[in-house]
Amino acid sequence: MSHIVTFVANRQAGSLTAAEANRAQVFAQGFDLTWLDEGRAFEFSVQNVPDRAALAAGLDHKQVDIFVTKSRGRRKAVLVADMDSTIVTAETLDELAAFAGLKEQIAEITRRAMNGELDFAAALRERVAMLKGLKLSALEATWSEIQFCPGARELVATMRAHGATTALVSGGFTFFTARVTAEIGFDLHRSNVLLDNGSELTGEVAEPILDKDAKLSTLRELAEKRGVKLAATLAVGDGANDLPMLKEAGLGIAYHAKPVVAAQVANRVEHTDLTSLLFAQGYPASAFKTGE
């Protein structure tokens, strides 16, 4: 089966040239070169999967993400996205901890958990316990500072416009996933529930905890509900708890990922934004929707 190689450049670092595109195509023995966005993204077909590092080395532009996908079934029917550091720029639990004066301590635990150095569920319980007694007003204050990753709106709006089911599935908390879902336009969200007594956090999280296995189960469930194979799914995330779904999805993309994830997922966004997930599916920039 033939594959498609897609190149997406960080436009802030310059544009891709026709000469670079042609040179890459010749190197990879590719054919049917097509520009998805002039100066920003192009693709071509190949019979044999080329070496990404060698392709990147042959480009003058040094901030280019390269994706390799099967030529059949490129546009996916299901999207499952992580939230923290994927759809939103921050780790929401770390930002919440700032209101308790514990951001550094909790962020270090988060870092280790997201790199697979700690058990996710145990690390989540530990961090939440440290927030016992924090006023609920801190949740709203945290939300008011949250920013979305570039391309998040376009990713979800474009896939929904083309009939895909879009889900936000996070090891974070429903307080935030519900708001992100409403703001960005996901079809559904799943995450953990922070417990409170009506005025303060109790330092507990509802069981069972949504972890890596639950993320993978959601991917499988949504594919089954849509009546499609896993080959028709797309997953994106950055942490160790995203790895199982990234590996099993038809197209798994690591987004500015932690080292343990980057080492195991070949398709990675390292220089660009979430619209690269659309280019990787063959959507031209002219097909993007803004969601506004």
Rounded to an integer, the average pLDDT of 256-269 is 97
Say if residue 147 is in the same domain as residue 212.
Answer: yes
Give yes or no: 196 in active site. Answer: no
Rounded to an integer, the average pLDDT of 24-34 is 97
Res 4: pLDDT: 98
> What's the CA gap between 238 and 245, in Å, rounded?
11
Say if residue 66 is in the same domain as residue 185.
Answer: no
**pLDDT tens per residue, range 155-203:** 999 999 999 999 999 999 999 999 999 999 999 999 999 999 999 999 9
Mean of all residue pLDDT scores within the chain: 97
Give yes or no: 273 in active site. Answer: no
> What's the CA gap between 223 and 251, in Å, rounded?
13
C-alpha distances in Å from residue 238, one per residue of 18, 24, 235, 253, 287: 32, 28, 10, 9, 26
Res 1: pLDDT: 58
Say if residue 92 is in the same domain as residue 8.
Answer: no
Say if residue 127 is in the same domain as residue 263.
Answer: yes
> What's the CA gap between 121 and 109, in Å, rounded?
12
pTM > 0.85: yes
Rounded to an integer, the average pLDDT of 50-75 is 96
Say if residue 32 is in the same domain as residue 174.
Answer: no
> What's the CA gap between 236 and 261, in Å, rounded?
11
User: Which of 14, 39, 72 lies at the terminal end of a domain, its last residue?
Assistant: 72
**pLDDT tens per residue, range 103-126:** 999 999 999 999 999 999 999 999
User: Which of 72, 102, 130 lies at the terminal end of a domain, its last residue?
Assistant: 72
Say if residue 132 is in the same domain as residue 263.
Answer: yes
Exactly one of 37, 82, 238, 273 is catalytic; which is it?
82
Exactly one of 84, 94, 238, 273 is catalytic; which is it?
84
Domains: count for the chain: 2
Structural domain harbouring 97: 75-292
